[in-house]
């Protein structure tokens, strides 16, 4: 039985009210200790175990109220909390005789506190069911003790006013809490969007600054119409290849790798760099290990074609290095930990080499 005002899928409202804070735990601790003292000091002769059982029930209810997640409260917990006040009250009424003195009927006050917070947790209807059941218990007890239904009702009817106020409070605060969560979510999305836009602008500025640094001198020479020597043409080819690498293999575009690639191409080796995103989110140790392996492969190549590819995510192999020369094809595979994988079977080596050669020609 759910309250009409509580049909919502919003986040847990008790986050707004601080139910998970140290202050809430301290409050529950005070609740438990206070009612333990009251139960011991107000118990009639021979009723201490009834009193302590009632105290234990209410203590567990108070703890569950701040620890159980969900908004509104899950139905099984709601039923247990509703029944806790009624059961605890009847345990004490079983051993208490009129006239009532002081706080002998303390479970009704403890139950009132539980029911008030049940209203806040989205179970106002169940809280009223529990309170009405407690009032009915007092009326039956009064009739059994010979003081009448009305006298029994008067012992607890005053507790309806605080519960009515709690119901009104919940009726007002729960829609407000939903609005708070909506605004928080909108703010989070706005901050994320602003951060993404800022990252794009920073990346654009970084690329422009890099392009200005490496390409401007050569472009200015071409614009002036100066004749180009063979060294200048080699520099232009290396520059074009470097810019292509930064676009096709951003995960491998580090200064150290860039210098190694330039030196390798200067020796006449064709270098193809490909990145399918497998390095995204990897630990720094794995990335550094792979980059060191890539740099070693670049430094060791003197002829032929060297194809270095970062594979897509969720593959057993993270990176492949394929070195093709006129006389030989060498393929190295590195796993998800960045370590060199054992040599694969020879009957599949040519097939994998053919795949990487196709990627080198047409990576699309």
- The answer to whether 336 and 314 are in contact (CB under 8 A) is no
Which of 85-89, 201-205, 217-221, 263-267 is modeled with the greatest confidence?
A: 85-89
The mean pLDDT of 103-131, rounded to a whole number, is: 90
The pLDDT assigned to 8 comes to 42
pLDDT of 353 above 70: no
Token pair of 98, please? 């009129």
Q: What is the DSSP letter of 43?
A: P
The pLDDT assigned to 238 comes to 67
The mean pLDDT of 214-220, rounded to a whole number, is: 67
pTM: 0.51
Closest C-alpha to 114, from 10, 249, 106: 106
The mean pLDDT of 261-283, rounded to a whole number, is: 85
The pLDDT assigned to 358 comes to 43
The mean pLDDT of 149-156, rounded to a whole number, is: 84
Q: What is the DSSP letter of 276?
A: -
Q: What is the DSSP letter of 14?
A: G
pLDDT of 4 above 60: no
Residue 155 CA: distances (Å) to CA of 58, 101, 105, 283: 20, 11, 9, 67
- Digit-coded pLDDT (tens) for 62-104: 999 888 887 788 899 999 999 999 999 999 998 888 888 778 8
SS3 324: strand
- The answer to whether 265 and 306 are in contact (CB under 8 A) is no
Which DSSP helix (H) or strand (E) runs through 108?
helix 106-120
Give residue 238's Cα distance to chain centre.
Answer: 45
DSSP string, 165-181: HHHHHHHHHHHHHHHHH
SS3 56: helix
The mean pLDDT of 115-133, rounded to a whole number, is: 90
pLDDT of 191 above 80: yes
Q: How many angstroms separate the CA atoms of 31 and 36, rounded?
A: 9
Higher pLDDT, 322 or 154: 322
Q: How many angstroms separate the CA atoms of 223 and 217, rounded?
A: 10
The pLDDT assigned to 215 comes to 66
Q: How many angstroms separate the CA atoms of 94 and 115, rounded?
A: 22
Give residue 191's Cα distance to chain centre.
Answer: 17
Q: Where are the domains of the chain?
A: 4-188, 232-361
| pLDDT class of 355 with cuts at 50, 70, 90 | very low
| pLDDT class of 42 with cuts at 50, 70, 90 | confident
The mean pLDDT of 31-43, rounded to a whole number, is: 90
Higher pLDDT, 235 or 16: 235
The pLDDT assigned to 22 comes to 81
The pLDDT assigned to 15 comes to 61
Vertex 72 angle, CA 66 and 77, to 5°: 60
**Of all residues in the chain, what percent carry a pLDDT higher than 90?**
21
Mean of pLDDT over the chain? 80
Task: Specify the range with the lowest mean pLDDT, choosing from 61-70, 203-212, 343-352.
Answer: 343-352
Token pair of 300, please? 């060791």
| pLDDT class of 326 with cuts at 50, 70, 90 | confident
Vertex 339 angle, CA 335 and 341, to 5°: 60
The pLDDT assigned to 111 comes to 93
List the strands of the sheet with 317-324, edge to edge: 270-275, 305-310, 317-324, 329-335
Higher pLDDT, 2 or 292: 292
What is the dihedral sign for C-alpha 92, 98, 102, 108?
positive
Q: How big is the chain by its Cα radius of gyration, in Å?
A: 38
| pLDDT class of 60 with cuts at 50, 70, 90 | very high
**Of all residues in the chain, what percent carry a pLDDT higher than 70?**
79
pLDDT of 349 above 50: no
pLDDT of 346 above 60: no
Q: How many angstroms separate the CA atoms of 110 and 33, rounded?
A: 12
């Amino acid at each position: 039985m759910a309250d009409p005002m509580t049909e919502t899928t919003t986040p847990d409202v008790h986050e707004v009210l601080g139910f998970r804070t140290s202050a809430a735990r301290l409050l529950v601790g005070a609740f438990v200790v206070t009612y333990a003292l009251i139960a011991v000091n107000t118990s009639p002769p021979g009723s201490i175990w009834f009193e302590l059982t009632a105290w234990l029930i209410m203590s567990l209810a108070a703890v569950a109220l701040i620890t159980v997640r969900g908004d509104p409260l899950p139905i099984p917990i709601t039923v247990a909390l509703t029944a806790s006040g009624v059961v605890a009250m009847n345990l004490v009424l079983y051993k208490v005789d009129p006239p009532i003195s002081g706080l002998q009927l303390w479970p009704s006050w403890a139950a009132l506190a539980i029911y008030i917070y049940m209203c806040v947790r989205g179970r106002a209807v169940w809280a009223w069911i529990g309170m009405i059941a407690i009032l009915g218990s007092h009326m039956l007890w009064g009739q059994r003790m010979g003081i009448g239904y009305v006298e029994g009702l008067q012992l607890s009817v005053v507790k309806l006013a605080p519960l009515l106020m709690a119901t009104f409070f919940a009726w007002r605060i729960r829609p407000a809490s939903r609005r708070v969560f909506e605004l928080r979510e909108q703010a989070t999305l706005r901050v994320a969007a602003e951060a993404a836009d800022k990252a794009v602008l920073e990346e654009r500025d970084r690329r422009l600054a890099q392009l200005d640094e490496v390409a401007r001198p050569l472009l200015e020479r071409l614009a002036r119409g100066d004749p180009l020597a063979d060294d200048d043409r080699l520099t232009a080819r290396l520059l074009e290849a470097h810019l292509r690498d930064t676009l096709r293999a951003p995960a491998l575009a580090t200064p150290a790798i860039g210098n190694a690639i330039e030196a390798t191409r200067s020796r006449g080796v064709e270098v193809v760099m490909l990145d399918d995103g497998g390095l995204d989110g990897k630990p720094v140790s794995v990335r550094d290990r792979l980059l060191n392996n890539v740099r070693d492969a670049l430094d060791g190549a003197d002829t032929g074609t060297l194809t270095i590819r970062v594979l897509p995510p969720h593959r057993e192999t993270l990176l492949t290095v394929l070195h093709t020369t006129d006389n030989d094809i060498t393929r190295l595979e590195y796993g998800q930990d960045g370590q060199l994988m054992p040599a694969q079977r020879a009957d599949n080596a040519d097939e994998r080499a053919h795949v990487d050669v196709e990627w080198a020609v047409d990576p699309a």
